[in-house]
Amino acid sequence: MQASIACSSLPHRNVVLPTTLSPKPNSIFTFLPRTKSSSHFTPRCSFQPQPLQISSPASKSLGISRSKVTPLLCRISSNGYSANESRSIREWVEVVGDAVSTAFPLWVTIGCALGLMKPSSFNWVTPQMNMVGLIIVMLGMGMTLTLDDIRGALSMPKEVLSGFFLQYSVMPLSGYFVSKLLNLPPHYAAGLILVGCCPGGTASNIVTYLARGNVALSVIMTAASTVSAVVLTPLLTAKLAGKFVAVDAAGLLLSTLQVVLLPVLAGSILNQYFQPLVKLVSPLMPPMAVATVAILCGNAIAQSSSAILMSGGQVVLASCLLHASGFFFGYILARILGVDVSSSRTISIEVGMQNSVLGVVLAAQHFGDPLTTVPCAVSSVVHSVFGSILAGIWRLSVPAQKKD
């Protein structure tokens, strides 16, 4: 039997094959000479995700057609292999981005060490740059969601309520008992309790994104805890630290809208209606998220590097115990409450990671001792390092319901 190979506008010849290949119009089939002197051409093929109709004269005469077969794509290659066998630029970007994201703990640690040893390295970072960086990252996370995902998160009252309860019970109590356990000085104890009473931070959304958790649930929990912080943060701090803390409710809500809700909603809309654009930029978002968190942590530690060095390891140990208890009890208690694995990971990250930047601002404005801000600054580093370690581990282990 002879077979005629239909090709694109590239040069081609008829060759003898056992079947007839009928590619679709966008298929490319190119023949390469075996030697300079040979007039024979050899097809070099690779896989392509389009259906290819393959039939033979015998099957045609019997009315038999086979449509579900391995599709082919052939292109010119100087070494006789398909050009598709090498990685595309997009694939390389995805590989590098995935490697950078998996090494998230390393980059955060480097940023923290640099901020501690050489604070001047972060003199170029401004509050406006921090805000813009977080907005871009949150926009990227929104691009991983659809409006249906957000509606689905809103329809998960058990998960949202469980996370909300654990947020404002585990962390405030942990701050109080750790302060008692380590017999911290009053200014450090007040700062640690204040951190425990703060809402979930926007960095928790980033870590959830990198850990492949339930990002929509994370965003809803962050928004809910932040809005509730208007009442609960000063109330719990007053009860546990013995001093009432005023909160700028309007500023807090405005920041939440700017950094969390609006960018995520905009990203979801882009993903819903402009998918080609989202596919183009999505490989760049995870490494951008890692870089942003590393810079923010390094900058936070640089602002209080002298006080951190003077305090020794006491504040660092206290912060480690505070956030470790948040991550641990957040996950364990969520599972006990019947929450699925993916959402339990999200709740663990939400409970363990606080809005330490808010703690720094409140401590500076409403506590007389400037050293009260030190636990808040250390907290921003500790919870990011702990969270990044969890993200690196959980990123390699996707829950069954997440795979589905």
pLDDT of residue 195: 92
User: How many angstroms separate the CA atoms of 31 and 7, rounded?
Assistant: 9
H or E stretch at 84: none
pLDDT at 90: 74
Which range, 79-93, 210-224, 311-325, is most confident?
Answer: 311-325
Structure tokens at 402: 């997440």
Tens digit of each residue's pLDDT (9 = 90 or more) over 333-344? 999 999 988 899
- Pairing assessment for the beta strands 53-55 and 20-22 based on DSSP bridges: antiparallel
- pLDDT (mean) for 273-297: 83
**Is 390 in contact with 327 (CB distance < 8 Å)?**
yes
pLDDT grade for 37, boundaries at 50, 70 and 90: very low
pTM above 0.75, yes or no: no
Residue 261 gets which letter from DSSP? I
Could you report the per-residue pLDDT of 218-259, keeping only the tens digit for each? Answer: 888 887 887 788 788 888 888 888 754 555 667 666 776 777
Chain region(s) in the chain for CATH 1.20.1530.20: 89-403
Q: What is the pLDDT of residue 313?
A: 84
Give residue 399's pLDDT. Answer: 66
- Give 52's pLDDT tier (boundaries 50, 70, 90): very low
Structure confidence at residue 398 (pLDDT): 67
Q: How far apart are CA 119 and CA 128, in angstroms?
A: 19
Q: Is the pLDDT of residue 73 over 70?
A: no
What is the DSSP secondary-structure string of 25-46? TT----EEESSSS---EEE--B
What is the fold of 89-403?
Answer: Na+/H+ antiporter like fold (1.20.1530)
Q: Transcribe 273-315 into DSSP letters.
A: H-HHHHHHHGGGHHHHHHHHHHHHHHHHHHHTHHHHHHHTTHH
Copy the structure tokens of residue 373: 């801000």
With beta carbons less than 8 A apart as the criterion, state whether 299 and 119 touch.
no
CB atoms within 10 A of CB 315: 27
pLDDT band at 204 (very low <50, low <70, confident <90, very high): confident
220: tokens are: 């809803």
Query: At a CB cut-off of 8 Å and minimum separation 6, what does 234 contact?
Result: 244, 245, 246, 247
Phi-psi region of 151 (alpha: psi -120 to 50; beta: other; left: phi over 0): alpha
47 forms beta bridges with: none
- Average pLDDT value for the chain: 75
Instruction: State percent of the chain over pLDDT 90.
Output: 16
Which secondary structure element, helix H or strand E, spans residue 220, and what is its range?
helix 215-241
Structure tokens at 394: 């959980």
58-62, 130-134, 301-305: lowest mean pLDDT where?
58-62
